[in-house]
């Protein structure tokens, strides 16, 4: 087994930057004991964030759902992120943020007044290789067995881990999840279907995460007059779809070309990335090339 670096060398833990090897937390951290925490993954291209502020707003929403106070104002988050990127040499980087409720005697009720644990690390942004956009991925359909608060980006991810494990064991790249017969999302990405030129997007409710990439794609589609419906999408429609895509901050938008061992799509596009995907990918690339400046601040500390 080749040993890969765990992450880029410098991390941030509770107010200090340090080598990953020196970062230590208590085993009584409620993040470790209960998965009692939230996280974010923010993509940066040449130091410029793709909707970093939106990610930080979602972090706030996730913290609110768990009744954990946000330890930092947004300016401080941006400052810490800016410094972390700088100390890891810049470039295309995925910044991982985790906030847990903190350290306490092991007991279920969350105690008041704990000091949150704040951890940030950086990884090279490993967006998929060009071949993947050409060839697409294979998925299996599974019943969505996760909890009913999938809109919270919680670190308790065992449901997703086991579903992903099941797809790997089935020889697939990813899962397409259904709850009560309707499409939800994938293990760590959103899903859209295309039928007769119309992009079909499941609504943002408690059953899926409001993906920043997903919301951007919807925005780009609307701005460019691509037909789009936000509504529940039945399993039957997914099975008959002309196209399926997954979307996330690290995958961007990737076509699903095979579902349950059958090619997605029809005619000459069966089992191949479809025309609407290609349009969307071009729009996304265009957006990425011209990323609006966001206020990633230099270290104030």
Q: Which of 99, 139, 188, 259 is close enough to bind ligand PLP by CB under 6 A?
A: 188
Tell me if 41 sits within 8 A of 95, measured CB to CB. Answer: yes
Question: What's the distance, Cα to Cα, between the start and end of the chain in Å?
Answer: 40
Detail the DSSP E strand segments found in 197-296: 198-201, 228-230, 243-248, 252-259, 262-263
Q: Which of 213, 242, 283, 284 is close enough to bind ligand PLP by CB under 6 A?
A: 213
Detail the DSSP E strand segments found in the chain: 10-13, 16-19, 37-45, 48-49, 93-100, 117-124, 137-143, 174-179, 182-183, 190-195, 198-201, 228-230, 243-248, 252-259, 262-263
Question: Which of 103-111, 169-177, 185-193, 197-205 is the region at the interface with ligand PLP (rule: CB under 6 A)?
Answer: 185-193
Q: Give the span between the Cα atoms of 65 and 61, in whole angstroms.
A: 6
Question: Which of 81-89, 208-216, 227-235, 289-297 is the region at the interface with ligand PLP (rule: CB under 6 A)?
Answer: 208-216
**Cα 271 to Cα 128, 248, 253, 266, distances in angstroms:** 19, 21, 16, 8
Residues 217-256 that bind ligand PLP (CB under 6 A): 248-249
Q: How far is the CB of 106 from ligand PLP (least distance, A)?
A: 27
Query: Given the complex with ligand PLP, which of 62 and 249 has the nearer CB atom?
Result: 249
Binding status of residue 214 toward ligand PLP by CB under 6 A: yes
Binding status of residue 98 toward ligand PLP by CB under 6 A: no
For residue 250 the two structure tokens come to 């690290």
Residues 15-44 that bind ligand PLP (CB under 6 A): 41
* Residue 153 appears among annotated catalytic residues: yes
Binding status of residue 273 toward ligand PLP by CB under 6 A: no
Binding status of residue 209 toward ligand PLP by CB under 6 A: yes
Q: How far is the CB of 23 from ligand PLP (least distance, A)?
A: 22
Contacts of 108 (CB under 8 A, 6+ apart): 34
Q: How far is the CB of 100 from ligand PLP (least distance, A)?
A: 17
Among residues 24, 57, 124, 153, the one annotated as catalytic is: 153
Q: Give the span between the Cα atoms of 28 and 107, in whole angstroms.
A: 10
Binding status of residue 174 toward ligand PLP by CB under 6 A: no
Report the interface residues with ligand PLP, using CB under 6 A: 41, 185, 188-190, 209, 211-214, 248-249
Task: Report the catalytic residues.
Answer: 153
């Amino acid at each position: 087994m080749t040993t890969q670096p765990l992450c880029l060398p410098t991390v941030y833990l509770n107010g200090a930057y340090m080598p990953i090897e020196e970062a230590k937390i208590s085993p009584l951290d409620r993040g470790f004991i209960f998965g009692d925490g939230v996280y974010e993954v923010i993509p940066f291209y040449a130091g410029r964030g793709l909707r970093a502020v939106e990610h930080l707003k979602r972090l706030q929403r996730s913290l609110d759902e768990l009744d954990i106070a946000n330890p930092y104002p947004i300016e401080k988050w941006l400052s810490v992120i800016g410094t972390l990127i700088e100390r890891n040499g810049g470039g295309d980087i995925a910044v991982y943020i985790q906030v847990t409720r903190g350290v306490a005697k092991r007991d279920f009720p969350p105690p008041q007044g704990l000091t949150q644990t704040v951890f940030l690390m950086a990884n090279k942004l490993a967006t998929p290789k060009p071949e993947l956009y050409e060839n697409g991925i294979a998925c299996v359909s599974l019943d969505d067995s996760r909890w009913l608060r999938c809109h919270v980006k919680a670190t308790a991810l065992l449901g997703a881990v086991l579903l992903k494990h099941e797809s790997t064991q089935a020889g697939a790249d990813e899962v397409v999840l259904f709850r009560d017969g309707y499409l939800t999302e994938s293990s760590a990405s959103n899903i859209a279907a295309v039928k007769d030129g119309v992009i079909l997007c499941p609504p943002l409710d408690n059953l899926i995460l409001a993906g920043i990439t997903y919301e951007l794609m919807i925005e780009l589609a609307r701005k460019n007059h691509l037909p789009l419906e936000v509504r529940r999408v039945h399993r039957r429609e997914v099975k008959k779809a002309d196209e399926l895509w997954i979307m996330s901050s690290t995958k961007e938008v990737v076509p699903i070309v095979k579902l349950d061992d059958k090619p997605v799509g029809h005619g000459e596009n069966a089992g191949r990335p479809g025309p609407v995907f290609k349009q969307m990918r071009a729009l996304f690339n265009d957006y990425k090339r011209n990323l609006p400046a966001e206020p990633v601040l230099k270290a104030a500390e």
